[in-house]
Amino acid sequence: MQINILAGGPTELWPKNLFQEQGMWIGADRGAWYLYQENIPMIMAVGDFDSLNDFELVTIQNHLAAQKIVHVKAEKDETDTELALMYAQEKKPDIIKIFGATGARIDHMLSNLWLMADEKFESIVEKTNFIDNTNIVSYVTPGLSEIAKYPNSKYLGFMPLNDVENFKIIDAKYPLTLTKNKYKMWSSNEFISNSVHVSFDTGIIMITQSVDGEK
């Protein structure tokens, strides 16, 4: 089962054919309004909805059954995307794809990308992807992992989210071996085949695949 989350980030960063994605949809804050406009069924809408005007909010409330809307106060500990991800996790999906969570405010983007460092998302770390029109972000946990090349991607980056030990990039264009963690983005690497292998003993690594422009 696939669950897609649409957050309220810039629409110009959406990948092409976004609404042809298979699976069920969750709207996070303004993402719910975008889904409504595209006539995409939602299993729920969640957020403080501070980015919607009164007409838009009432329209969403009238469109969805009451049990499908989680309206929270603006003063909260979790972001809207985080709340949507918590609900998605309860469904025990095979994969979660999150759109509209990058671009615009950098604090929102960084907050979203670092969600997988939270222990409460341990069961979905390797199931979660953040996707826009030029990037796909995924995550790997300790052990030996194979990272498949995403169509049209060129550049490959690796970012430790927490304490990572004995990190190795094995068969990328630029191999790397680190015995101790360094909190930096190991960017601008590249695939030399259809996959790359990495290994490490502790922590979580965020993997980025990117292109220079929309493909």
pLDDT in tens, 157-198: 999 999 999 999 999 999 999 888 778 899 999 999 999 999
Q: Does residue 90 register a pLDDT over 80?
A: yes
% of the chain surpassing 70 pLDDT: 98
pLDDT of residue 213: 56
CB 57 within 8 A of CB 85: no
Residue by residue, DSSP assigns 79-123 as: -HHHHHHHHHHHT--SEEEEES-SSS-HHHHHHHHTGGGSGGGGG
In this predicted structure, the answer to whether residue 199 has a pLDDT above a threshold of 50 is yes
Domains of the chain: 1-133 (3.40.50.10240), 134-215 (3.40.50.10240)
Beta bridge partners of 168: 177, 199
> pTM here?
0.93
Residue 204 amino acid letter? I
Query: pLDDT tens digit string along 126-165?
Result: 999 999 999 999 999 999 999 999 988 989 999 999 999 9
CA 60 from centre of chain: 24
> What's the token pair of residue 128?
């979660």
